[in-house]
Amino acid sequence: MIMSKQKFEMAVGKAVFVIILYVSFLHCSAKKSPITGGISRIDPEDLRQYPDLIKGVKSFLDKLNSKSTAGTVHKLVCASVQASSQVVQGVLYRVAFNTEQVDKGVAQGESCINRGDFVEKGEGKFICISIWERPWLNDMSPEIKENKEGKDIESCLGVSN
């Protein structure tokens, strides 16, 4: 059966439309969802939605402060927390934050402090940690390590602005 020129042009037009629609869909969906294995920055406003990340940071600070003998503790500076996540055999969180040394009794019960609260200038520390959450390993999860090579936020999180 021979197709008329008009029917052929309509079929080609429909095919081109479907291809453009498909490519547009792929392009838009790729921007909204992270690439598996890719590193995604976590919006600081959304940190409360990541309980494993928060638990890991608190656990790291508890361990850091258990070594403190000078009557001071490291407290998290609230506004300084930056984080990223990567899905690799679980979720690997990378977290960059600042701490300030404060007297043990002064900041009792506070989960974090604002810069300038209870603080002497020059006592702060930049910290970069990784928290590898693998729930199927029950007793070994999460694995928390300090990354001493992370000197700034970008190198710590593995992402660039």
User: Which one, of 65, 45, 70, 53, lies nearest residue 120 by Cα?
Assistant: 70
Name the pTM for this structure: 0.70
pLDDT at 128: 93
Are 10 and 18 contacting, i.e. CB atoms less than 8 angstroms apart?
no
| Domain enclosing residue 109, as ranges | 38-157
Whether residue 3 is contained in a domain is answered as no
pLDDT at 11: 78
Whether residue 11 is contained in a domain is answered as no
Number of domains within the chain: 1
- CATH code, 61: 3.10.450.10
Whether residue 104 is contained in a domain is answered as yes
Determine the number of helices (DSSP H) and then strands (DSSP E) in the chain.
3, 7
Q: Rounded to whole angstroms, how far apart are CA atoms 102 and 4? A: 84
pLDDT at 5: 78
Whether residue 32 is contained in a domain is answered as no
- Which residues does 136 contact at the CB level (< 8 Å), separation at least 6? 90
Whether residue 20 is contained in a domain is answered as no
Whether residue 18 is contained in a domain is answered as no
Q: Residue written as tokens 């190198």?
A: 155
Distances (CA, A) of 145 to 39, 50, 86, 120, 150: 18, 18, 16, 27, 12
Whether residue 89 is contained in a domain is answered as yes
pLDDT at 13: 77
* Peptide bond just before 34 cis, omega within 30 deg: no
Whether residue 144 is contained in a domain is answered as yes
Greatest C-alpha distance within the chain: 92
Q: What residues of the chain score a pLDDT lower than 50?
A: 30-32
Q: Phi and psi for 25 in degrees, rounded to 5?
A: -60, -45
pLDDT at 152: 86
